[in-house]
């Protein structure tokens, strides 16, 4: 067996495992912290410093009363990230320290925001008893399974990258659901591979020799990344880790996985163990999605097209518009699907067949969605049970999910003419009520009480009849309680004190309470426990005996309940893989129901897909902009787009604000939607499946990210030019804007020519009207323009894409519209005329770029 770090004893509330490669014992850090405190003058700052030292790289949230204080260097970071006021904490005999405070009540949400912004957080809680050690919880974006921190409908994936030669193995896990996978990618393919994984956190176990490609991919992903502390495991460590996680027969289970993938998976598991202190129990076998059966999209493309989130947040994104799923697992599947659309026309048609059927049968659709919406997130419930943080409600979630899945299956099996893939989905769902899953559901139904506490520590969640021992002990509890209660009338009669009561409290337990004035009436059999102003409390040997018997019975009951919980937990995890299959089938059904729902609501139409390299969209609309504009009482102007042999490349010119970017994105989004099996906002669409989708937006347009520099723009453009194939679709929106006109124009033209010769489908928008000359000379390119007529007050846009090239003077019209002084406008007109006549066009055709002309077709 290999070097598998020994376990840290895990307590749910105390995650101090991060730094402990070989922890001597769990309290090691805390003892160190306490030692540090003993030697300094300002205890609180010392404890804080110790917490910080124990969690390097983490923002420390330090609980003081009703606030979490953030101190020192962390304070400005947190204040900026959360928009909190930055103040100072005064210190005696020491300079003030920067500080900001997070109210304990809103801490969960704020921690979630810090994690999703990529920060690691260490939470130093108040000690359970005064003077005790402060529990420290470490949270990183990829390792948290805390429901308060995770978004229900978003995957939360932790990825490890491990290079081997010219390839990179990726292993990834969503710890909250246990869904695990691996991928192999070439160095060039790292970007799309990572975008497909969509990690919340990336750890590099081993960099490739030339690290540039992976570095760019990781950085453009936008998730926090770091070198993996445990590094790259050798063959023996890999085998050891995999055997521990998947059992001695791991080699059978993981057949077909390449060595780098296995090493990455082992590194991932080792990391999880060292940070969380445990490995997930009953891990789901990793899936290995064959790369190449999905469209490659990288992070900048997803961002540029605003697929998952937009500049204005998640609301303006494609996902928000098309997401009509009713389960969290369905939403997560849709999110993942959008980052990895399908490429096989057959597979797409299978999904489209389901969507078409559900569009046409609103009752079936509504019925399925109704049943699914009552389905709890059993994947996450199992995730918590597997990580030791689950409780009785998670067991109930599994039970209810299995029941709802059976109900959804019945709707489909009771429907006539369901297409084959839907019938198959129904069969997978029906498994929820059969075999091991069915037994589990029945067992849980019998075992669990009606009202359930969140934690198994509390007890009271096991139903009567589940365990004879427990029922017996509970009867004891009842009879002891009754015996204690029976003492009251007896003692009252014996002493003649009518107001005598038998009570219990946390401080002194069971006792006899009488008004202070009547205490004397109690004889010597009564032992004084406590004298208060108005009451006096006594006990008797008899009461003490009964009370301790009751306590013992209660404790036994609690132990039995906890054991029953462990047993049920194991029973659930024993069929975890089967539960996951049911959940995945339900998520897949939710996905197609949601797509059908969106199609019906927006009146989208079914696309056709084929193996060709054409693209023909009639009256396409932008899925996000159209409803947005209509919400404002405006209408969206549809536009077609036909790319084929003679017009593989469209050069789109037009003034600012004429609708270029909208049109480009709508074409890309329609293709993307079609390839996830969605209906599309177009009258008709015929699409030759796209193997890679690229979209880049010129630097100055990408204000939202706030980070796009010309260098980034060029890096990204380089990636496209190097990776696009004749089956790809490339959208370049004003590339070359980030530099001087001459550079920009030269780069734009060279890039356009390269793409043209490569033969991929390309939409190229530019404000360099000079490029039209170059495009005209290319056999497979045509010039298109945003139609704009000159109105009395300047350019009037009708957002129509028409053949030809845009005039150049609209910029001046817009300037006039904006109210530039007439003298400035006249001067600008003069300069424009001068530049136009003297400009040396790159192509040298000598045509006047101001003149509007139709070209290309
Ligand atoms: P450009 O990229 O040419 O500067 P944009 O695509 O950013 O222009 O569009 C500018 C604005 O024009 C959009 O915000 C939208 O309000 C409007 N717009 C764009 N396309 C259309 C359309 N097809 N129909 C109606 N309005 C449109
Ligand atoms: Mg634009």
Sign of CA pseudo-dihedral 787, 789, 795, 796: negative
Compute the distance from residue 340 Cα to the ligand 1 centre, in Å: 28
User: Is residue 223 over pLDDT 70?
Assistant: yes
Tokens of 253: 């289970």
Q: Does ligand 1 have an atom closer than 6 angstroms to the CB of 697?
A: no
Do 263 and 226 contact (CB within 8 A), yes or no? no
Tokens of 669: 């989004």
Of ligand 1's listed atoms, the one at least distance from the Cα of 797 is 12
Do 843 and 781 contact (CB within 8 A), yes or no? no
Q: How many angstroms separate the Cα of 71 from the Cα of each of 22, 29, 95, 104, 134?
A: 30, 20, 13, 16, 17
531, β-bridge pairs = 536
782, β-bridge pairs = 650
User: Is residue 329 over pLDDT 50?
Assistant: yes
Range in 310-319, 355-364, 684-693 with the lowest mean pLDDT? 310-319
User: Which secondary-structure segment (H or E) carries 257?
Assistant: none
Cα separation, 780 vs 645, whole angstroms:
6
Q: Does ligand 1 have an atom closer than 6 angstroms to the CB of 640?
A: no
Tokens of 44: 């609180």
More confident residue, 855 or 401: 401
Q: Does ligand 1 have an atom closer than 6 angstroms to the CB of 343?
A: no
Confidence tier at 9 by pLDDT (50, 70, 90): very low
Nearest to 738 by CA among 747, 729, 750: 747
pLDDT mean across residues, the chain: 86
Compute the distance from residue 660 Cα to the ligand 1 centre, in Å: 7
Of ligand 1's listed atoms, the one at least distance from the Cα of 654 is 3
In DSSP notation, 386-425 reads HTT---HHHHHHHHHHHHHHHHHHHHHHTSTT--HHHHHH
Q: Which residues does 24 contact at the CB level (< 8 Å), separation at least 6?
A: none
Cα separation, 779 vs 621, whole angstroms:
28
Do 339 and 198 contact (CB within 8 A), yes or no? yes
Query: Which of 628, 654, 657 best tests ligand 1's pocket when mutated (most atoms within 8 Å of CB)?
Result: 657
Q: Does ligand 1 have an atom closer than 6 angstroms to the CB of 799?
A: yes
Query: Which of 629, 656, 659, 664 best tests ligand 1's pocket when mutated (most atoms within 8 Å of CB)?
Result: 659
User: What per-residue confidence (pLDDT) applies to 277?
Assistant: 78
How confident is the model over 72-90, as pLDDT tens digits? 999 999 999 999 999 998 8
Rounded to 5 degrees, what angle do the CA atoms 456, 462, 467 make? 125
User: What per-residue confidence (pLDDT) applies to 812?
Assistant: 73
Q: Helix (H, G, I), strand (E, B), or coil: what is residue 763?
A: strand
In the chain, % helix, strand, coil (3-state, to 5) comes to: 45, 20, 35
Rounded to 5 degrees, what angle do the CA atoms 208, 210, 211 make? 65
Cα separation, 516 vs 527, whole angstroms:
14
More confident residue, 69 or 809: 69
User: What per-residue confidence (pLDDT) applies to 795?
Assistant: 60
Q: Does ligand 1 have an atom closer than 6 angstroms to the CB of 659?
A: yes
Nearest to 152 by CA among 128, 176, 119: 176
How confident is the model over 557-590, as pLDDT tens digits? 999 999 999 999 999 999 999 999 999 999 999 9
HSE of 35 in the Cβ direction (CA atoms, 13 Å)? 6
In DSSP notation, 269-302 reads HHHHHHHHSSPPSSPPPPB-PPTTSB-EE-HHHH
Nearest to 107 by CA among 145, 70, 57: 70
Mean pLDDT of all residues in 345-372: 96
Query: Which of 633, 652, 662, 764 best tests ligand 1's pocket when mutated (most atoms within 8 Å of CB)?
Result: 662
Residue of the nearest CA to atom 18 in ligand 1?
A: 659
Q: Does ligand 1 have an atom closer than 6 angstroms to the CB of 675?
A: no
- Residue 451 DSSP code: S
User: What per-residue confidence (pLDDT) applies to 838?
Assistant: 55
Sheet order of strands, 296-297 included: 296-297, 692-697, 729-733, 761-766, 649-653, 781-791, 794-803
Q: Does ligand 1 have an atom closer than 6 angstroms to the CB of 658?
A: yes
Q: Rg of the chain's alpha carbons, rounded to an integer?
A: 34
Q: Does ligand 1 have an atom closer than 6 angstroms to the CB of 810?
A: no
Longest CA–CA span in the chain (Å) reads: 120
Q: Residue 188 class from Cβ within 10 Å (0-12 exposed, 13-18 middle, 19+ buried)?
A: middle
Rounded to 5 degrees, what angle do the CA atoms 584, 173, 152 make? 60
Compute the distance from residue 813 Cα to the ligand 1 centre, in Å: 17
- Other C-beta atoms closer than 10 Å to the C-beta of 71 total 23
Cα separation, 824 vs 827, whole angstroms:
5
Percent of the chain clearing pLDDT 70 (strictly above): 89
Cα separation, 190 vs 249, whole angstroms:
31
Compute the distance from residue 766 Cα to the ligand 2 centre, in Å: 9
Residue of the nearest CA to atom 17 in ligand 1?
A: 659
Mean pLDDT of all residues in 129-155: 82
Q: Find tokens 């019998």 and name the residue.
A: 446
465, β-bridge pairs = none
Q: Does ligand 1 have an atom closer than 6 angstroms to the CB of 667?
A: no
Nearest to 305 by CA among 761, 767, 801, 731: 731
Q: Helix (H, G, I), strand (E, B), or coil: what is residue 785?
A: strand
How confident is the model over 122-138, as pLDDT tens digits? 999 888 888 788 888 87
Cα separation, 684 vs 689, whole angstroms:
15
Q: How many angstroms separate the Cα of 405 from the Cα of each of 371, 490, 596?
A: 8, 57, 19
Of ligand 1's listed atoms, the one at least distance from the Cα of 733 is 2
Of ligand 1's listed atoms, the one at least distance from the Cα of 634 is 25
User: What per-residue confidence (pLDDT) applies to 793?
Assistant: 56
Of ligand 1's listed atoms, the one at least distance from the Cα of 665 is 6
Q: How many angstroms separate the Cα of 8 from the Cα of each of 20, 21, 238, 274, 575?
A: 8, 9, 20, 8, 27
Residue of the nearest CA to atom 20 in ligand 1?
A: 659
User: What per-residue confidence (pLDDT) applies to 62?
Assistant: 94
Please tell me the number of the ligand nearest to residue 656's CA. 1
Tokens of 696: 């880049």
Mean pLDDT of all residues in 733-737: 79
Mean pLDDT of all residues in 38-64: 81
Q: Which residues does 207 contact at the CB level (< 8 Å), separation at least 6?
A: 163, 214
- Each residue of 339-369: b (16+ CB within 10 Å) or e? bbbbbebebbbbbbbbbbbbbebeebbebbb
Compute the distance from residue 785 Cα to the ligand 2 centre, in Å: 13
HSE of 48 in the Cβ direction (CA atoms, 13 Å)? 20
Compute the distance from residue 656 Cα to the ligand 2 centre, in Å: 7
Compute the distance from residue 762 Cα to the ligand 1 centre, in Å: 20
Compute the distance from residue 377 Cα to the ligand 2 centre, in Å: 41
Please tell me the number of the ligand nearest to residue 737's CA. 2
Q: Does ligand 1 have an atom closer than 6 angstroms to the CB of 766?
A: no
Cα end-to-end distance, the chain, whole Å = 70
Mean pLDDT of all residues in 199-203: 93
Range in 212-216, 331-335, 429-433 with the lowest mean pLDDT? 212-216
Residue of the nearest CA to atom 23 in ligand 1?
A: 637
Mean pLDDT of all residues in 437-450: 96
Range in 513-527, 633-647, 670-684 with the lowest mean pLDDT? 513-527
HSE of 325 in the Cβ direction (CA atoms, 13 Å)? 24
User: What per-residue confidence (pLDDT) applies to 447?
Assistant: 96
Tokens of 13: 């509330």
Tokens of 406: 């059976």
């Amino acid at each position: 067996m290999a070097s598998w770090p020994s376990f840290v004893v895990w307590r749910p509330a105390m995650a101090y495992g991060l730094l402990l490669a070989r922890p001597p014992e769990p309290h090691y850090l805390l003892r160190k912290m306490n030692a540090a405190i003993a030697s300094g003058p300002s205890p609180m700052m010392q404890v804080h410093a110790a917490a910080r030292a124990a969690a390097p790289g983490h923002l420390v949230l330090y609980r003081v009363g009703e606030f979490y204080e953030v101190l020192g260097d962390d304070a400005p970071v947190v204040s900026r990230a959360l928009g909190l006021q930055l103040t100072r904490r005064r210190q005696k005999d020491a300079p003030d320290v920067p500080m900001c405070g997070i109210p304990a009540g809103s801490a969960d949400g704020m921690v979630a925001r810090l994690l999703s912004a990529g920060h690691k957080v260490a939470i130093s809680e108040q000690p359970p008893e005064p003077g005790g050690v402060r529990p420290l919880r470490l949270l990183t974006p990829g390792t948290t399974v805390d429901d308060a921190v995770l978004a229900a409908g978003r995957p939360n994936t932790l990825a490890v990258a491990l290079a081997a030669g010219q390839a990179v193995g990726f292993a990834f896990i969503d710890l909250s659901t246990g869904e695990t996978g691996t991928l192999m990618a070439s160095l060039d393919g790292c970007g799309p591979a990572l975008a497909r994984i969509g990690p919340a956190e990336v750890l590099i176990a081993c960099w490739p020799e030339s690290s540039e490609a992976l570095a760019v991919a990781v950085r453009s992903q936008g998730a926090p990344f770091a070198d993996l502390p445990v590094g790259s495991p050798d063959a023996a460590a890999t085998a050891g880790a995999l055997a521990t996680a998947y059992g001695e027969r791991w080699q059978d289970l993981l057949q077909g996985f390449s060595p780098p993938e296995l090493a990455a998976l082992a590194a991932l598991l080792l990391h999880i163990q060292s940070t969380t202190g445990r490995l997930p129990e009953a891990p789901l076998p990793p899936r290995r999605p064959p790369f190449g059966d999905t469209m490659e999209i990288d992070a900048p493309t997803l961002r540029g097209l605003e697929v998952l989130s937009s500049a204005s947040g998640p609301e303006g994104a494609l996902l928000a518009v098309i997401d009509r799923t009713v389960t969290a697992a369905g939403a997560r599947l849709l999110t993942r699907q959008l980052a990895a659309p399908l490429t096989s026309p057959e597979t797409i048609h299978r999904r489209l067949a389901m969507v078409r059927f559900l569009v046409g049968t609103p009752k079936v659709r509504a019925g399925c969605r109704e049943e699914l919406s009552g389905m709890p997130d059993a994947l996450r419930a199992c995730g918590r049970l597997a990580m030791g943080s689950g409780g009785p409600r998670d067991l109930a979630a599994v039970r209810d999910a299995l029941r709802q899945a059976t109900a959804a299956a019945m709707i489909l099996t009771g429907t006539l003419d369901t297409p084959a893939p839907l019938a198959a989905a129904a069969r997978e769902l029906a498994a929820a009520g059969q075999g091991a899953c069915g037994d589990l559901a029945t067992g849980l139904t019998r075992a669990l009480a009606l009202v359930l506490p969140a934690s198994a520590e509390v007890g009271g969640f096991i139903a009567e009849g589940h365990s004879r021992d427990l029922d017996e002990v509970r009867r004891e509890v009842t009879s002891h309680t009754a015996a204690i209660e029976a003492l009251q009338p007896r003692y009252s009669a014996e002493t003649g004190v009518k107001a005598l009561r038998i009570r219990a409290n946390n401080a002194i337990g069971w006792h006899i309470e009488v008004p202070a004035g009547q205490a004397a009436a109690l004889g010597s059999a009564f032992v004084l426990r406590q004298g208060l102003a108005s009451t006096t409390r006594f006990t008797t040997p008899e009461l003490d005996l009964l009370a301790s018997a009751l306590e013992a019975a209660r404790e036994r009951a609690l132990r039995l309940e906890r054991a029953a919980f462990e047993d049920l937990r194991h029973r659930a995890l024993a069929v975890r893989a089967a539960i996951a299959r049911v959940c995945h089938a339900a998520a897949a059904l939710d996905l197609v129901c949601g797509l059908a729902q969106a199609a019906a609501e927006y009146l989208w139409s079914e696309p056709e897909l084929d193996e060709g390299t054409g693209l023909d969209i009639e009256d396409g609309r932008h899925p996000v902009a159209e409803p947005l504009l209509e919400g404002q009482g405006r209408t969206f102007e549809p536009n077609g787009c036909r790319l084929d042999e003679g017009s593989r490349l469209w050069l789109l010119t037009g003034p600012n604000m004429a609708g270029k970017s909208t049109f480009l994105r709508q074409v890309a989004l329609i293709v993307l939607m079609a390839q996830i099996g969605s209906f599309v906002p177009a009258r008709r669409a015929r699409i030759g499946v796209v193997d890679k989708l690229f979209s880049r937006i010129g630097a100055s347009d990408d204000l939202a990210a706030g980070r796009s520099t010309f260098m980034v723009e060029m890096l990204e453009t380089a990636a496209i030019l190097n990776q696009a194939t004749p089956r790809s679709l490339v959208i370049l929106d004003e590339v070359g804007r980030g530099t001087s006109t001459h550079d920009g124009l030269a780069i734009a033209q060279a890039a356009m020519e390269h793409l043209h010769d490569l033969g991929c489908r390309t939409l190229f928008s530019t404000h360099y009207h000079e490029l039209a000359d170059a495009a005209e000379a290319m056999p497979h390119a045509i010039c298109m323009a945003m139609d704009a007529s000159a109105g009395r007050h300047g350019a009037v846009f009708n957002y129509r894409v028409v053949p030809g090239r845009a005039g150049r003077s609209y910029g001046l019209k817009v300037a006039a519209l904006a109210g530039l002084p007439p003298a400035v406008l006249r001067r600008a007109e003069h300069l424009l005329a001068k530049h136009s006549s003297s400009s040396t066009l790159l192509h040298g055709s000598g045509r006047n770029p101001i003149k509007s002309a139709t070209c290309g077709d």
